[in-house]
Amino acid sequence: MDFAAAYLEDVRATAAYYQKLAEDAMAQVDHAQLFAPLGEEENSVALIVKHVAGNLRSRWTDFLTTDGEKPDRDRDAEFEIRGGDERAALMEAWERGWATFRGTLDALSPDDLGRTVHIRGEPHTVLRAVDRALAHACYHVGQIVLLAKHFAGPEWRSLSIPRRHG
């Protein structure tokens, strides 16, 4: 078995699963809920979407040849709602970020996993950078699901096995 090829295939499947999980959760909240934080210091679903989209775009554009923290990324702006930050625009950015990640994963070969890339000037193996990105995205997907479930309340439709049904 080619473990490196199997690893890349698994990462692709896991990324697709978590992207869909977040999208299915977000589909259960209305416009106001998408932008509502639980408190002053918390992020709304909309801000998490902006951040994940920005992070994936930055990290995975020209992944093997440029630092993952692109000079045009304004990370702080990812945590501010600005004009034009409507659901459709956020979802387009979200999809572009995930598409960039998927496209780069699809272009990687098993031999690439040992190569060195840089993120914020720090060297990482491609394997480490992939793990880091997937863990980061999944962390935020969990936040999205939690917030969506909170706002949907009793109208929530389970994204996995519902309670008392398994």
Three-state helix/strand/coil letters over 31-66: HHHHHCCCCCCCCCHHHHHHHHHHHHHHHHCCCCCC
Alpha carbon 155 to chain centroid distance? Answer: 25
pTM, entire model: 0.94
Q: What pLDDT is recorded for position 50?
A: 98
Cβ contact 110:8 at 8 Å:
yes
Residue 109 pLDDT > 80: yes
As for how many domains the chain has, the answer is 1
Q: Mind listing the pLDDT tens digit for each residue in 137-157? A: 999 999 999 999 999 999 999
Amino acid at site 87: R
Amino acid at site 85: D
Q: Is residue 83 part of a domain?
A: yes
Express as a percent the part of the chain with pLDDT over 70. Answer: 99
Burial of 151 (0-12, 13-18, 19+ CB in 10 A): buried
For residue 34, what are the domain limits? 3-155
> Mean pLDDT over all residues of the chain?
96
Average pLDDT over residues 27-41: 95
Residue 114 pLDDT > 80: yes
Q: Is residue 160 part of a domain?
A: no
Residue 165 pLDDT > 90: no
Burial of 4 (0-12, 13-18, 19+ CB in 10 A): middle
Q: Is residue 165 part of a domain?
A: no
CATH code, domain with 7: 1.20.120.450
Q: Is residue 120 part of a domain?
A: yes
